[in-house]
């Protein structure tokens, strides 16, 4: 009998990546069983959230084979662009965005000291269609947009998502906020 215990999120993610990289996971129940065999107890809700955070997608098998879970390459783009900002990004923007400015296709995002790489990673994993990628320092993230003049629109969108992320914490029953930043430079408290 294998004893199961909850692990840290990072350790659980590592086990999930290990199982998916073998290319044999067809369902969440199969993945849960594989984790259980490795001593990791997980609920379906946690597993679903983990798969979303990891950017896992189900890919059709070739020649009628069943679909399997797959993960994006490390450091690569998500396997499919986001249709809307993932809840994890909205939450992180709500927690970490302290200011944002735009110029042409560039957006400069300010964070508390030490948080820029964490937010840049969330932006990269989100796969927003308007973004090409990010570069992070200690408290600043440079976001490059696809369109030559897309910086302003993305700055407004990121500010609105941060407000929504703060609103979700302040009012858990209200999923959206009606506030919308309109100036060229957006600073948040």
Tell me the backbone φ, ψ of residue 70, rounded to 5 degrees: -140, 155
For residues 43-70, give the mean pLDDT.
Answer: 83
Least confident interval from 11-15, 59-63, 113-117:
59-63
Q: Does residue 39 come out as left (phi exceeding 0), alpha (psi in the -120 to 50 range) or beta?
A: left
Decide: pTM greater than 0.85. Answer: no
Query: What average pLDDT does this structure show over 64-87?
Result: 66
For 7, the token pair is 């692990």
In this predicted structure, the answer to whether residue 173 has a pLDDT above a threshold of 80 is: no
- DSSP assignments along 136-183, one per residue: E-SSEEEEEESSTT-HHHHHHHHHHHHHHHHHHHH-TT---------S
Q: In what order do the strands lie in the sheet with 99-103?
A: 131-136, 140-145, 106-110, 99-103, 186-187
97-126: average pLDDT:
93
Q: State both tokens at 152.
A: 């302003």
**Per-residue pLDDT at 181:** 42
pLDDT at 80 over 60: no
Domains of the chain and any CATH numbers: 9-70 (1.10.10.10), 87-182 (3.30.1360.40)
DSSP reduced 3-state for 125: helix
Q: Answer yes or no: is pLDDT of 8 > 70.
A: yes
Helix or strand run (H / E) with residue 110: strand 106-110
pLDDT (0 to 100) of residue 188: 47
109, β-bridge pairs: 100, 141
């Amino acid at each position: 009998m294998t004893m199961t215990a909850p692990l840290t999120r990072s350790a659980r993610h590592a086990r999930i990546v290990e199982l998916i990289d073998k290319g044999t996971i067809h369902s969440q129940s199969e993945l849960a069983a594989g984790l259980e065999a490795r001593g990791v107890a997980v609920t379906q809700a946690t597993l679903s959230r983990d798969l979303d955070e990891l950017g896992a997608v189900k890919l059709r098998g070739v020649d009628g084979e069943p679909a399997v879970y797959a993960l994006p390459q490390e450091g690569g783009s998500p396997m499919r662009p986001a249709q809307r900002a993932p809840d994890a990004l909205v939450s992180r923007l709500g927690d970490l965005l302290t200011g944002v400015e735009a110029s042409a296709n560039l957006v400069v995002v300010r964070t508390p000291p030490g948080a820029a790489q964490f937010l840049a990673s969330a932006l990269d994993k989100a796969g927003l269609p308007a973004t090409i990628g990010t570069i992070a320092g200690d408290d600043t993230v440079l976001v490059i947009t696809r369109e030559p003049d897309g910086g302003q629109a993305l700055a407004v969108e990121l500010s609105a998502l941060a407000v929504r992320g703060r609103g979700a914490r302040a009012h858990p029953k209200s999923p959206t906020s009606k506030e919308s930043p309109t100036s060229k430079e957006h600073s948040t408290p």
